[in-house]
Structure 1
Amino acid sequence: MRISIILFFSFCFAQLAVAQQATTGNDNLQTAQFKVLGNCGMCKKTIEKAALGAQASTAVWDVKTDMISVAFDGKKTSKEALQKAIALAGYDNAGYKADDEAYKKLHGCCQYDRTGEAGGTKSCTANDQEH
């Protein structure tokens, strides 16, 4: 009985050590911040979804500053790939301008001022989540 308990705890400790090494051992983890123009909570969802779909591990876009913070595995994607994916979703950013057709497909509230001014004209409130 005593040996079983010792073996059980040894196994648990070994599994915990392996799991911790797997989560902290990514030498390829990179972070970046860049401007992405948008207006509201619906834009936030679309922008973050586009970045996550392009292999970002985290993506947080701030509606007030128009800045996105991303973390990603440099072996799986790049800052440029994330910017391109966001542009394909209709949002101008520091790396790419969205295609006019993609921009026109955005909800009217999400059609941001394309002059390039961060935090420019916001036709929606930051708390808008649904349209």
Structure 2
Amino acid sequence: MKKIAFFLFSALFAQAAFAQTAANDKLKDTEFKVLGNCGMCKKTIEKAAVSAGATTANWDVKTDLLAVSFDAKKVSKDAIQKAVALAGYDNAGYKADDEAYNKLHGCCKYDRTGEAGGTKSCTADDPEKQ
């Protein structure tokens, strides 16, 4: 009986490990520039990325690069960039609208003359924002 229980436990453990590996194989990793200044920016940028569907998000204050992992079947890089812009941060895909930028804390108001790369407005395809 102990051998059967051990075999069943081993089979379940192997299946769970395989499922986790398969889930990790679906994840896509990418990074893009997001303008910001400080640790408060880091927290807000990462939270916006995760709320958009990123499984992990890490923004580097020194390089302005946001590294994200996400399931490409559930969310896109574009959707993550848009969410970050809606939080007030210009990035490689979208420029934050002035209203979102102006809501940022004083220390988070980065220099908007910097090169973020994005030229699309994050409100362009959102009828509620037009």
TM-score w.r.t. the length of structure 1 is: 0.83
Correspondence 1:93-108 to 2 at 5 A: 93-108=91-106
The aligned counterpart of 2:22 is 25
Of residues 17-26 and 88-97 in structure 1, the stretch that sits farther from structure 2 once superposed is 17-26
Tell me how far apart the structure 2 counterparts of residues 90 and 15 of structure 1 sit (CA, whole Å).
45
| Unaligned residue ranges in structure 2 (runs of 5+) | 117-130
Check if 1:111 corresponds to 2:129.
no
Tell me how far apart the structure 1 counterparts of residues 114 and 7 of structure 2 sit (CA, whole Å).
58
Q: Could you give the per-residue CA deviations for residues 15-71 of structure 1, whole angstroms, max 9, x where no partner exists?
A: 211111111113431111100000111100000000000110110000000001000
1:15 to 12, 16, 31: 12
Which segments of structure 1 move beyond 3 Å, counting only runs of 4 or more? none
Which residue identity lines up with residue 70 of structure 1 in the other structure?
V
Task: Please report how far the alpha carbon of residue 109 of structure 1 lies from its aligned counterpart in structure 2 after TM superposition.
Answer: 0.5
Larger RCO (CA within 8 A; separation ≥ 6)? 1
Matched residues, number:
115
The aligned counterpart of 1:80 is 78
SS in structure 2 opposite 1:60? Answer: strand
| Unaligned residue ranges in structure 1 (runs of 5+) | 119-131
Say what the alpha-carbon RMSD is for the aligned residues.
1.2
TM-score w.r.t. the length of structure 2 is: 0.84
